[in-house]
Amino acid sequence: MPQFQVSTPQRTYPVEVGRGGIHRLPDFLPSNCGKIFVVTTADVWALHGSSLKDALGDRNYATLFFAGSEENKRLAHVEALAEQMVESGADRSSVVVAFGGGIVTDLGGFLAAIFMRGIPVIQIPTTLLAQVDAAVGGKTGANLVAGKNLIGSFHQPLAVLIDPGVLSTLPEREFRAGLYEIIKTGVIASEPLFHLLANGRDDILSHHHHIVDHVIAESVRIKAEVVSSDERESGLRRILNFGHTFGHALEAETRYKRFLHGESVAWGMRAATYLAHDLSMLPQEDYLSILNILDRYGPIPSVSGIDAAALEARLVRDKKTIQARIHFVLPVKIGEVVVRNDIAPERATHAIERALADCR
């Protein structure tokens, strides 16, 4: 079973990728572990709860249900879960197990980060997007009305257990949305991963275990390396935002209802690729290859009715915009990106217009 280490000033921990990995949960619980609180959603519990119950056996645990969805990823729900924990006898020796998609891993991680000033969390992500991105790297948080993840903290888990077997029940659209994050990883850091995704597209979309598990493991390996070198996103970790700057604007403009996160990242990668090409930063062959792979893993839902000027305004308000400077992650070749904060607004608008025109 591939295992990767994330090494940060806060904690060093393993990320395991392997079918049946949920059953390894007891191996990662602390020896002095108190009551365990599994934070999950009703649908994940109905599909995969029996595996977790088997893994936990006769340990002292409670299941806390969260309603899911970006709308519910709010501080009020974190507080309600914390109250339930206290009522069920939680103390400082308690451990949270965040068992679900990216919203659950973010919110469950945040609950653990602030409960009694911080208790451990183990992440068991059940969507592809959470497996290759959200659950790895310690970002936790909740949404404000003003925007996504505007409150939160870095709270590195004790371990991340990635079981690709759970993806068999994932809706096809969510599976593809997660694949876009793996494509992102290929573009930013690994030409071999990118080509594997390009050449293995049919096998991947047919859920062939060998290749799916391999691209997940590669993506996790790369993310573990990036986070290990820059936990707090002051430098290298910014490259993980390729496609996110534009994508967050699209998600916010559509109130998080029209696009899955991975789909908006796919659209954002398209816009960033146009921008890089327009700035003559990206060789023609790589430019075409990136657009081509985005097409072949698509389509994403239509962007009709979305206004370029509105997206441009949202870019300026994004939380990653620092002192009014927007940070764009732009590819210079497949496997390498740079971060630029000196892009003229009209260039970004042009890239947005082209990417919108492609996806109507």
Is 223 labeled as catalytic in the residue annotation?
A: yes
Preceding omega of 125 cis (within 30 degrees of 0):
no
Instruction: Yes or no: say if 72 and 42 are a contact pair by the CB < 8 Å rule.
Output: no
Instruction: Name the minimum Å distance from CB 71 to ligand GLY.
Output: 20
| Helices marked H in the chain | 25-28, 42-56, 75-87, 102-114, 128-129, 172-189, 191-199, 201-205, 209-229, 244-253, 261-278, 284-296, 308-317, 345-358
Is 195 labeled as catalytic in the residue annotation?
A: no
**Binding mask of the shown chain, residues 188 to 227, with x at each position contacting ligand GLY by CB under 6 A:** ----------------------------------------
Which span (133-141, 193-201, 202-210, 272-280) binds ligand GLY, by CB under 6 A? 133-141
Active-site pick, 73, 221, 238, 248: 248
Site size for ligand GLY (CB under 6 A): 6
Instruction: Yes or no: say if 242 and 187 are a contact pair by the CB < 8 Å rule.
Output: yes
Is 214 labeled as catalytic in the residue annotation?
A: no
What Rg value do the Cα atoms of the chain yield, rounded? 20
Instruction: Yes or no: say if 111 and 78 are a contact pair by the CB < 8 Å rule.
Output: yes
Which span (131-139, 264-272, 273-281, 337-345) binds ligand GLY, by CB under 6 A? 131-139
331 near ligand GLY, rule: CB under 6 A = no
Contacts of 38 (CB under 8 A, 6+ apart): 52, 56, 61, 62, 63, 64, 96, 97, 99
Question: How many CA atoms lie within 13 Å of 72's alpha carbon, on the beta-carbon side?
Answer: 13
Is 199 labeled as catalytic in the residue annotation?
A: no
Active-site pick, 73, 148, 238, 261: 261
Active-site pick, 155, 237, 270, 314: 237
Measured from the CB atom, is 100 or 137 closer to ligand GLY?
137
Which span (68-76, 233-241, 267-275, 285-293) binds ligand GLY, by CB under 6 A? 233-241
137 near ligand GLY, rule: CB under 6 A = yes
Is 24 labeled as catalytic in the residue annotation?
A: no
Q: What tokens does 233 get?
A: 């996103």
Instruction: Yes or no: say if 330 and 281 are a contact pair by the CB < 8 Å rule.
Output: yes
Choose which of 48, 139, 176, 270 interacts with ligand GLY (CB under 6 A).
139
Measured from the CB atom, is 36 or 240 closer to ligand GLY?
240
Active-site pick, 181, 218, 253, 263: 181
Instruction: Name the minimum Å distance from CB 133 to ligand GLY.
Output: 5
Is 248 labeled as catalytic in the residue annotation?
A: yes
Active-site pick, 241, 263, 270, 277: 241
* CA distances, 276 to each of 21, 237, 309 (Å): 40, 19, 20
How many residues comprise the chain?
360
Q: What tokens does 261 get?
A: 């996160």
Tell me the residue number closest to ligand GLY, measured at CB.
Answer: 240
Given the rule CB under 6 A, which residues bind ligand GLY? 133, 137, 139, 233, 237, 240
List the catalytic residues: 117, 139, 181, 223, 233, 237, 241, 244, 248, 261
